[in-house]
Structure 1
């Protein structure tokens, strides 16, 4: 029986979220992620495989289910509010602390059957439409960061965390890879910086004080890489400012570093 694409689904579904690639609807107690027309089906299959791997861990995540439509995924529906809403609308004061504690939980897991960050980043950087100097610097930074087999979310920010009944659930694992956690921290910082400087500054303070063996010089390199890749995704002057600040290293020609407020 056609579970998804029938008249009841189309007429009764309620939109609960929308991103660049898909719209999420609530129907019959489940969430349904409907991808835009033309979205590659192999990428949807890959997302299903990633979620299957993550669901086998002890992390608080939603389960995914196949449907009879290749461009739709059925998911457990988690009611509640995002950590973003809790911080910005509810004036919750410890949101960034909660965010980092959850991220540390993710980084306790390793050797999940997922691709490695380094193998994915190298072709992404090489294919960027940017200055050759920037690409060369990013590839050099990438080669200088130690590899690892740690689980990384790589799109970890307050809007991908749902608070329900005093428990957090982590969503949107499509970017998950194995690698050095410093890449995960760097991407979170870049995303926070784009959205709210104060939250990014608080996050950076916590990284310096509460993450064991944090190598700040390596973090600077990872931030440069993630800011450059984010320019491709989103553009914007904020990311450019990060490139200016974090692109200067002892092995580069000296220039005046900019202070980011």
Structure 2
């Protein structure tokens, strides 16, 4: 597809830019980005829309590297938190609970963490994390995990309606401990102050699920290995 020049850049990532154009948002991937990954992202979004976790629809365009999306007029939660909006940590905690409480049917079109975590890892790394994923998956009930839950992936609409969770590419079926651990790793990477506030915000939810400190540490190890692999791909 072609734009007429009136598009406005509203987001920029490692693999794609997002533009506002004629009432929609368009995600424009680099030409080298695999088309099958784009199709997978569209499938993920269709799944979470069907579950009521998102109302942002994705549409194909004539260009396989461009997705048309429903437009959110708003700001990323990160912008408010950086201005001192500490309520953002409670919103983050609430977002986790909302996702984890969604129903998971046997035929859900979303992969399990154990089935995809090996991708991009060398055999030694996979041998390191696989037993942990298997053990924790047997010990704790599985649910939908966003696996990239942070302030940049939560939008606050300008109209004052409820927050919206975006970017479901990483979502998997797994115990919630991996979702909390993934966000722990992200905060640990960028902000120790934010990490302390995050730990305080989700402590009750982690305790309610019966997640032990040792199991959480193991999940953090798994998330760190996967996160380090992702950073080599950027």
TM-score by length of 2: 0.88
Deviates more, 1:12-21 or 1:144-153: 144-153
**Deviation sequence 1:56-104 (CA, Å, 0-9, x none):** 1122441111111111100011011111001003x10211111011111
**Structure-2 separation of matches of 1:116 and 1:179:** 6
1:220-253 per-residue CA deviation (whole Å, 9 max, x = no partner) reads 1110111112122237xxxxxxxxxxxxxxxxxx
Question: Is the counterpart of residue 158 in structure 1 residue 151 in structure 2?
Answer: yes
Alpha-carbon separation, structure 2, partners of 1:202 and 1:139: 30
Q: Deviations over 1:157-198 (max 9, x none)?
A: 100000013320111111111111111111111111212111
Is 1:183 the counterpart of 2:174 in the alignment? Answer: no
- In 1, the alpha carbon distance for the partners of 2:65 and 2:52 equals 28
For residue 116 of structure 1, the aligned residue among 112, 118, 138 is: 112
> How far apart in 1 are the matches of 2:212 and 2:4?
51
Which is greater in Rg?
A: 1
Task: Note the residue ranges of structure 1 that are not aligned, 5 or more in a row.
Answer: 236-261
Question: Shift of the alpha carbon at 1:34?
Answer: 0.6
Within 2, Cα distance between the matches of 1:51 and 1:15? 22
- Whole-angstrom distance in 1 between the partners of 2:76 and 2:226: 25
Moved over 3 A (4+): 134-137
Q: Is the 8 A contact 1:208 1:214 kept in 2?
A: no
Contact preservation (8 Å) 2:25, 2:71: yes
Shift of 1:49: 0.9
Which residue in 2 is equivalent to 1:140? 131
1:21 to 15, 26, 34: 15
Q: Name the structure, 1 or 2, with higher relative contact order (CA <8 Å, separation 6+).
A: 2
8 Å Cα contact 1:82/1:159 also seen in 2: yes
How many residues align structurally? Answer: 223
Which residues of structure 2 form unaligned runs of 5+? none
Contact 2:77-2:152 within 8 A present in 1 as well: yes
Question: What pairs with 1:112-261 in structure 2 (closer than 5 Å)?
Answer: 112-121=108-117, 123-124=118-119, 127-128=121-122, 132=124, 136-147=127-138, 148-164=141-157, 165-166=159-160, 167-211=162-206, 212=208, 213-234=210-231
Which of 26, 36, 43 pairs up with 1:42? 36
